[in-house]
Structure formats: structure tokens, C-alpha cells
Chains A and B, each alone.
Chain A
Amino acid sequence: MPHEFHLSDRELLMLADGELPPREAARAETHLAACWECRTRKQELETAISEFVRFQRSSFKSTTPADGPKALLRARVAQQADIHSHSGLLFFLGPKLGWAALLLILISGLTPLIWRQIVPERPLQPVPSTVPNPSLTPGATVLLSQPALCREFNVNNKFVPVALQKKVFAEYGIRGAEPGAYEIDYLITPALGGADDIHNLWPESNRMALWNAHVKDALEDRLRAMVCGGQLDLHVAQRDISTNWIEAYKKYFHTDRPLHGNQQSGRNRF
């Protein structure tokens, strides 16, 4: 078959991408079957595409596991759904009843405020817990590879701003706690790629005699040493510590009880 024409680069690309209209695609395929030159060009194009895809995929071989971000999204969606259901009530009741409901809500909201002004506030007795509430603190990480993480020398937990600490306490319903009773701690420590995010912070009770903040510090040190020593995958460490740090401690220290639970760490004390 004589080649009175060759396919343009654009036609070759659109053919490769399935973007040519059927008639033109059929014509191009017929031409390719007969034209070695165009077939070679198409091959070069395919090679360029596959090299780019390989390049792009290899840039992204290691990523943070989806568990943390997914849990965070779930928590935020639940929060949204809650807000929506409250605001949807006014819409559902209609304008008149809606206003009445709004008034009731305002009154019920203001009463405790006024009451608090009259009656002195008593500190709440929060339920001490050793692990965070996963819906409030699912854990959050930054995208960081193991070598990049291990190059960091200054891996101490950053000071959590007081405003953020207050938010964390409010989320957990803790008011008027005694000084030193809690430590705002990172669920996934920055030394393991944990993010400075409210979803990665929780009030860890210092009242716990057994599984306390100092025990968790020991676990964090052990996990980082294992990750940087190449004995443990970073994502596994992040997942284990965020799922249940006590179980992780038992797993990595091969014990059912903390080995050293009395070291002072002194970070972000409330």
C-alpha cells in the first residue's frame, strides 16, 4: 500500500489514548498496519508514556498508610453529619416552629451559662484513660520517607500551644483538671512522622500508675530505633502505635507489663 500520507503526532497520540473518533481510528489503524515508520513513532510514543508512568509511580512507592487519613476523614464527616442533622431540624420544622425551636435551644444553651455564674464551678471528674478515643484522635502523619525521617536529629515533641491544648481538653470533655494530671501527647510522635494536628493529640493521664506517658515515651524511642535501624517498616510502626500503643508496647518489648514506667519526660503538662 503506498503511503501518500503519514499520521501526525497528534493523531498518533489520540489513537494511543482512544480519543480518535471511530472512523478516523479505523483509518489510522489501517495505515499503521502498513507503515513501519508510523508504527515506530507510535512505539516511541508508548515508550515515553510508559517511562513517564514508571517515573511517576516510582516517586510514590512509599506513602503513608491510608488508615490515619481515613480515620481522620471519618471523624470529620461524622462531625459534619452531626452539624447537618442539627441545622436540618429547623428546616424540617418550618419557619414558625423553627423559630420556636431556635428559641428553646437558645434558652437551654444559656441556662447553664447563667447557672454557672451563680453556682461556683466544680471540677469535672473525667474518666481517666490510657488510650485515646479513636474518633477524636485517630492519629495523623506527614508524608515522610524512612531515610528522611531518620536524618532528622531534633525529634523531640514540639510544645503544643496552650490554645490547642485547651481545644483538646474541650474535645475530651475535661474541665478544671489538676495541674500535672494530664499531658497533651502526640498519639504518633513526630519522631515517627506524626503530624502537629489536633487529630493526633490527646490528653494522656499521668495518674495511671502502670501504662502512663513515660511508658509510651519508651515505646516511641524503641520504635524509632527499630525504624532507623531498618528492623521495622515506618508505616507498620505508625499503624501499631496509633491502633493501640499498649498492645504495641507488649509486642515490641515482649512483656505484659511496662519495664520502666517511672522516667520523667515533662512535656506539655497541663
Chain B
Amino acid sequence: MVDSSSKPYPLLNSDREQSERTAPSAAERELSELFDELRIPLLRYLLGFPLPPHDSEDVIQEAFLSLFQQMRRGSSIQSPRGWLFRAVHHLALKRRLRSRKDLESAATLLTAETSLVDSGLNPEDELLFHRTRARLDAVVRALPEQHRWCLYLRAEGLRYREIGEILNISLGAVCGCLQRSLALISRAVQR
């Protein structure tokens, strides 16, 4: 009987040797930092598709792995953040095409969004918050996809130029999408 409770991870010998051999490289460290910084913003962006949650995590893993391969090849990436958002966007589109479960995913989004809310407000403010939220949800859901993607990308702090590159549209189109979306949101908030 082996009681390993005193050692949290009793690695097999070969595993121990492997872990000693493979100290994280500079690329791995950089990747790890980027993952800490961008995983949540990328997951939030994927709410705009929407994908089932586990698919979103998969897409992000794939994007980071692709970035790692690029870094290993010595490719020059000006903005890893923009690169990752672009990769995630394309991978999510591919994933969605493959699964063809948009409607099902939309239902998942609704459930996830409504179930995660815990605003910590008093009952009156809570009611107001939920009403505004429901209206915003309806507005955002009804937006054309490109408008929604622009909004989510801008909310993550991307510049118009970066958004245009990710979605392959002009700066004017980015501005137009944001303008129309925000006008609808503004109306929903004031109602």
C-alpha cells in the first residue's frame, strides 16, 4: 500500500525526469502570462457567438496553441492580443459551422446569462437591474452578428483598426456597427 498523502503528486520516475528536462521556455512563460490576461476577455467575446461553454474553452485552447506554434517558428506578431482575438473569431466560426447548433447554443447562452447574475443590490434596484438586463439581452440578441461582434470586441478594449482586421471590414463599417448598436441600446435603457 502506498500512501501518497504526504507528497501531493508522486510522479512516476519518467515523468519526474521529463518535468526536470522541460523547464518552461520564454515562449511558454509569455504564453502563460497572455493566458492569464486574456482568457476571460476571450471567453466574454465568445458570448457574442454564442458557443456552448466547453466549446468556448476548447476554442481558446486551440488559439493559444496556434500562437505558441507561431512563436516557436519565430513569426513576428505585432499584437498578440489582436492575433488571439482574430484566431478565436475564426476558430469559433469554424466550430459553429461544424456543430450547426446555433439555436441550441443560443438557449445555452440565455440560461447561462440569467443564472449567473448575483448583483448584490436591494430588491427595488435588483428588479430595475433585471428589467434593464432583460431589455438589453433582447436588443443584443436581435443585433446582426457583425454588430454584436463589434460591440463585444470594443468592450474588450480593441481599437477600430483591430476590430476591422479581425472581422475583415472597414473602419467605417466598424464605426457604423457600433453607432447603430449603441443607439438601440440607448433606447432600450431609456425606455
CB within 8 Å of B: which residues of A? Answer: 9-10, 13-14, 17, 19, 44-45, 47-49, 51-53, 55-64, 66, 69-70, 72-74, 76-78, 80-82, 84, 127-131, 133-136, 140, 142-145, 147-148, 173, 195, 208-211, 243-244, 246-247, 250
One digit per residue, 1 when the CB lies within 8 angstroms of any chain A CB and 0 when it does not, for chain B 76-95 equals 00000000000000000000
Specify which chain A residues have a CB less than 8 angstroms from the CB of B53 in the assembled complex. Answer: 142-144
Are B61 and A76 in contact, CB atoms less than 8 angstroms apart? yes
Does B112 sit within 8 A of A, measured CB to CB?
A: yes
Does B155 sit within 8 A of A, measured CB to CB?
A: yes
Task: A66 to B68: give the CA distance in the assembly, Å.
Answer: 18
Are B118 and A55 in contact, CB atoms less than 8 angstroms apart? no
Partner of A55, one of B68, B137, B159, B186: B137
Q: A59-B112, A60-B44 are in contact. Are A10 and B175 (CB under 8 A)?
A: yes
Task: A60 to B156: give the CA distance in the assembly, Å.
Answer: 13
Task: A34 to B116: give the CA distance in the assembly, Å.
Answer: 44
Partner of A13, one of B14, B65, B179: B179
Are A80 and B179 in contact, CB atoms less than 8 angstroms apart? no
Q: Which of B4-45 contact A (CB under 8 A)?
A: 4-5, 8-12, 14-15, 18-19, 22, 25, 28, 31-32, 35-36, 39-40, 43-44
Are B113 and A48 in contact, CB atoms less than 8 angstroms apart? no
Partner of B186, one of A44, A78, A246: A44
Specify which chain A residues have a CB less than 8 angstroms from the CB of B31 in the assembled complex. Answer: 73, 77
One digit per residue, 1 when the CB lies within 8 angstroms of any chain A CB and 0 when it does not, for chain B 159-180 equals 1100000000000000110110
Are A56 and B44 in contact, CB atoms less than 8 angstroms apart? yes
With a 10 A CB-CB cut-off, give which of A48, A58, A195 has the most chain B CB atoms. A48
- 30 interchain pairs (CB within 8 A)? A9-B183, A19-B160, A44-B186, A44-B190, A45-B186, A51-B185, A52-B136, A52-B155, A61-B116, A63-B40, A66-B35, A69-B39, A70-B39, A73-B61, A74-B32, A77-B64, A80-B68, A81-B22, A82-B22, A128-B2, A131-B10, A142-B54, A143-B53, A143-B54, A145-B115, A148-B112, A148-B115, A208-B1, A211-B4, A250-B5
Chain B residue at smallest Cβ distance from A56 = B155
Query: Nearest Cβ distance between residue B145 and chain A, in whole angstroms?
Result: 16
Are A59 and B113 in contact, CB atoms less than 8 angstroms apart? yes
Task: A34 to B69: give the CA distance in the assembly, Å.
Answer: 54
Are B137 and A246 in contact, CB atoms less than 8 angstroms apart? no
Partner of A135, one of B19, B65, B151: B19
Does B106 sit within 8 A of A, measured CB to CB?
A: no
Task: A81 to B18: give the CA distance in the assembly, Å.
Answer: 12
Are B65 and A77 in contact, CB atoms less than 8 angstroms apart? yes
Chain A residue at smallest Cβ distance from B39 = A66
Task: A76 to B15: give the CA distance in the assembly, Å.
Answer: 15
Are B36 and A70 in contact, CB atoms less than 8 angstroms apart? yes
Does B133 sit within 8 A of A, measured CB to CB?
A: yes
Are A135 and B15 in contact, CB atoms less than 8 angstroms apart? yes
Specify which chain B residues have a CB less than 8 angstroms from the CB of A53 in the assembled complex. Answer: 155
Q: A17-B178, A57-B44, A72-B61 are in contact. List 17 more A-B contacts (CB 8 A).
A: A48-B185, A52-B140, A60-B40, A61-B116, A63-B43, A70-B35, A73-B65, A74-B28, A77-B31, A130-B10, A134-B9, A143-B56, A144-B53, A145-B115, A147-B115, A173-B12, A210-B3
Specify which chain B residues have a CB less than 8 angstroms from the CB of A59 in the assembled complex. Answer: 44, 47, 112-113, 116-117
Chain B residue at smallest Cβ distance from A79 = B65
Task: A66 to B38: give the CA distance in the assembly, Å.
Answer: 11
Specify which chain A residues have a CB less than 8 angstroms from the CB of B57 in the assembled complex. Answer: 64, 69, 140, 142-143
Partner of A129, one of B4, B14, B40, B64: B4
Query: Nearest Cβ distance between residue B56 and chain A, in whole angstroms?
Result: 7
One digit per residue, 1 when the CB lies within 8 angstroms of any chain A CB and 0 when it does not, for chain B 133-151 equals 1001100100000000001
Q: Which of B38-74 contact A (CB under 8 A)?
A: 39-40, 43-44, 47, 53-54, 56-57, 60-61, 64-65, 68-69, 72
Q: A53-B155, A62-B116, A73-B35 are in contact. Are A131 and B4 (CB under 8 A)?
A: yes
